[in-house]
């Protein structure tokens, strides 16, 4: 028998948050619990029918059954470029400034491999998407945590980062609208990020996966809308949340052509691109009329209002989200975040995500996802109220 030993990089991994949540969910279901799952950001709204129809037609085309291009078919990258121009008034060269991704998670996971040497520092927001520090670990880098606290509107305090850290930093992750806090960022913040990146030669990687889930017609900014942004970084996007296509695994990265080229080199060695039929359906998705997307936003807005007002009425405080389909709520006195999640699961059949799972600064909070129908969210509030 072989003595199988995991690599140190795998031994040092924390348990993947959402795998742990999924295990909790399956155990509850196996016990017959009528579970209301508000834990994972996986839209329950079906993929839009016209996108599904486009996929049905595309999958029958023989030319799509061979290896796809590594960087993505040009028609898809042109559609991304056109979408950016229409949505943000940002001009992109589809040949050099747009790269297809197997979902934005894949691009985020690979970007440190292109630019981080062992010992290099990556600036990582916390609480935040767990892939940022894990990708850094896989590349041999060191994460320097930028705490996101409510007193600072869940924006990192860039001035508090020590100068010696800034000198060693090679890359910074930012994410707005933010997961898990649902915070948004304005021009002043992005301008400060660009100034910092220029001064210290830091690549900015902005995760903008939730930019199209917003409320009260307050459209979030693209980082690339600001002057000189393209000089210092790139932006990651996904079709998953906007078009309810989480299982399709398609996204894109856009921005600085040299950073895009570096990420592309990693991809050509580690994957073989996205099934071209999905890319063709992705083109259809990107050309969806905003009236249709507005209907989806209205559904989330209704759910958000029910959950926010309901939790407030039973004493669980949060900021009203301006974007994303998450609500970041304070844990009641007497609980830590993991204990409160367990309490709700065991006694109310409601599953949220513990804030500490997104990083130590997330302790004291719980994240609820608006990925259940309004009536189930209303029932979840009633159940939570009964067990507090």
Q: CATH number, domain at 127?
A: 3.40.640.10
Query: Does residue 336 sit within a domain?
Result: yes
Shared domain for 190 and 271, answered yes or no, is: yes
Mean pLDDT of the chain: 96
pLDDT given for residue 119 in this prediction = 93
Cβ proximity of 123 and 173 under 8 Å: yes
pLDDT at 317 over 80: yes
pLDDT given for residue 23 in this prediction = 86
Shared domain for 260 and 356, answered yes or no, is: no
pLDDT band at 42, cuts 50/70/90?
very high
Query: Does residue 3 sit within a domain?
Result: no
> pLDDT (tens digit, 9 = 90+) per residue, 219-249?
999 999 999 999 999 999 999 999 999 999 9
Shared domain for 295 and 281, answered yes or no, is: no
Q: What tokens appear for 85 in the block?
A: 């121009």
* Total of domains in the chain: 2
pLDDT band at 371, cuts 50/70/90?
very high
Cβ proximity of 17 and 362 under 8 Å: no
pLDDT given for residue 263 in this prediction = 98
pLDDT at 110 over 80: yes
What is the average pLDDT across 199-212?
Answer: 98
What b-and-e string marks burial along 269-295, b requiring 16 or more CB atoms within 10 Å of the CB?
Answer: eeeebbbbbbbbbbbbbbebeeeeeee
Q: How many residues does the chain have?
A: 388
Kindly report the number of other CB atoms within 10 A of residue 3's CB atom.
4
Shared domain for 36 and 112, answered yes or no, is: no
pLDDT given for residue 189 in this prediction = 98
pTM of the model: 0.96
pLDDT at 192 over 90: yes
pLDDT given for residue 64 in this prediction = 96
Q: Where are the alpha helices (DSSP H) in the chain?
A: 8-11, 17-30, 49-58, 74-88, 104-115, 131-138, 163-168, 187-200, 229-232, 239-242, 257-270, 276-286, 290-313, 337-348, 374-387
What is the average pLDDT across 353-366?
Answer: 96
pLDDT at 25 over 90: no
pLDDT at 38 over 80: yes
Closest CA to 36 of 369, 356, 388: 369
pLDDT band at 13, cuts 50/70/90?
confident
> pLDDT (tens digit, 9 = 90+) per residue, 116-130?
999 999 999 999 999
CATH of the domain at 374: 3.90.1150.10
Shared domain for 58 and 124, answered yes or no, is: yes
Tell which of 225, 255, 286 closes a domain: 286
Query: Does residue 350 sit within a domain?
Result: yes
Query: Does residue 216 sit within a domain?
Result: yes
Query: Does residue 1 sit within a domain?
Result: no
pLDDT at 365 over 80: yes
Please, which residues have CB within 8 angstroms of residue 256's CB and are 6 or more apart in sequence?
97, 203, 230, 231, 232, 233, 234
Location of structure tokens 């949220």: 352
pLDDT at 19 over 90: no
Shared domain for 265 and 119, answered yes or no, is: yes
% of residues, the chain, pLDDT over 90: 93
């Amino acid at each position: 028998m072989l003595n199988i030993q995991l690599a140190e990089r795998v031994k040092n991994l924390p348990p993947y948050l959402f795998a742990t949540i999924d295990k909790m969910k399956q155990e509850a279901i196996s016990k017959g619990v009528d579970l209301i799952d508000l834990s994972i950001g996986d839209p329950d709204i079906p993929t839009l029918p016209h996108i599904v129809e486009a996929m049905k037609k595309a999958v029958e085309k023989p030319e799509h059954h061979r290896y796809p291009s590594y960087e993505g078919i040009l028609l898809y990258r042109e559609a991304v470029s056109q979408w950016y121009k229409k949505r943000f008034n940002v001009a992109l060269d589809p040949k050099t400034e747009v790269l297809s991704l197997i979902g934005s998670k894949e691009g985020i996971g690979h970007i440190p491999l292109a630019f981080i040497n062992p010992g290099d520092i990556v600036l990582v927001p916390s609480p935040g998407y767990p892939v940022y520090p894990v990708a850094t670990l896989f590349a041999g880098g060191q994460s320097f945590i930028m705490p996101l606290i409510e007193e600072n509107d869940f924006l990192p305090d860039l001035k508090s980062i020590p100068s010696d850290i800034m000198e060693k930093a090679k890359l910074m992750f930012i994410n707005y609208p933010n997961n898990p806090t649902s915070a948004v960022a304005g021009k002043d913040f992005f301008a400060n990020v660009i100034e910092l990146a220029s001064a210290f030669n830091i690549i900015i990687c902005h995760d903008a996966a939730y930019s199209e889930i917003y409320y009260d017609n307050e459209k979030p900014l693209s980082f690339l809308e600001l002057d000189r942004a393209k000089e210092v970084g790139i932006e990651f996007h996904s079709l998953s949340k906007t078009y309810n296509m989480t299982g399709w695994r398609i996204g894109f990265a856009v921005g600085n052509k040299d950073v895009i080229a570096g990420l592309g080199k990693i991809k050509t060695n580690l994957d073989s691109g996205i099934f071209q039929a999905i890319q063709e359906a992705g083109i259809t998705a990107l050309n969806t009329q905003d009236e249709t997307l507005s209907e989806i936003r209205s559904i989330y807005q209704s759910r958000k209002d029910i959950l926010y007002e309901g939790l407030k009425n039973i004493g669980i405080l949060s900021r009203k989200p301006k974007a994303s389909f998450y609500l970041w709520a304070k844990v009641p006195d007497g609980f830590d975040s993991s204990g409160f999640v367990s309490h709700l699961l065991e006694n109310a059949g409601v599953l949220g995500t513990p804030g500490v799972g997104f990083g130590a600064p997330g302790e004291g909070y719980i994240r609820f996802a608006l990925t259940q129908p309004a009536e189930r969210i209303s029932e979840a509030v009633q159940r939570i109220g009964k067990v507090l």
